[in-house]
Amino acid sequence: MDEKTLDEIISRYDSPSGRLLGILEEIQTSEGYIPRDVLEMLSVKLDVRLSQLYSLVTFYSFFSLKPIGEHVVTVCMGTACHVRGAAEILTTLEKLLGIERGTTQDGKYSVTTKDNKFTLEIARCFGACSIAPVIDIDGDLYGYTTPERLPEILEDYGWREP
Ligand code: FES
């Protein structure tokens, strides 16, 4: 995002210091994430400490400091899913997507594949415990998942075995 575009967003808010969330939301929507250089520009323009902006961005799960993939795969790690094998589901997805275990973003588990096709995240209960273990892809829930079923599910979203 260039400076002119950022200025246009800021100008839509009468009192920018009180509208940080709105401005950040517009940046997130426009870019798909919050680029660091834009955050730095915003800090200078609004005279708000960079650390304050980071606190906001990392507090709300809607914001991301890294580009989000075309498809977001979220693994439920809630209790019911955990006891029915969610950890194995997560490990298998990491393997299939070529994601390194333990890579995290700002304390949140959110990792995007190098080709930006998939972002893998974890959550705490989708409220669908009766069909555990559950994963969510772009808002579609898949219950009773097994490691064996995952390639077939991912293929519907353009994944191909490397
Ligand atoms: S614990 Fe996974 S859906 Fe509730």
The predicted-structure confidence for 17-50, as pLDDT tens digits, reads as follows 568 999 999 999 888 889 999 999 999 998 899 9
Give the mean pLDDT of 102-114. 70
Decide: 128 in ligand 1 pocket, CB within 6 A: yes
Whole-structure pTM value: 0.71
The hierarchical CATH code for the domain 71-155 is 3.40.30.10
Residue whose CB lies within 8 A of the most ligand 1 atoms, among 74, 90, 126, 141, for a mutation test: 126
Q: How confident is the model at residue 109 (pLDDT cuts 50, 70, 90)?
A: confident
Torsion, CA 71, CA 67, CA 11, CA 37, rounded to 10: 180
CA distances to 24, 50, 58 from 108, rounded to whole Å, are 18, 20, 8
pLDDT at residue 106 greater than cutoff 60: no
Q: What pLDDT does residue 138 have?
A: 92
Domain spans in the chain, listed from the N-terminal domain onward? 3-59, 71-155
CB contact at 8 A, 10 and 46: yes
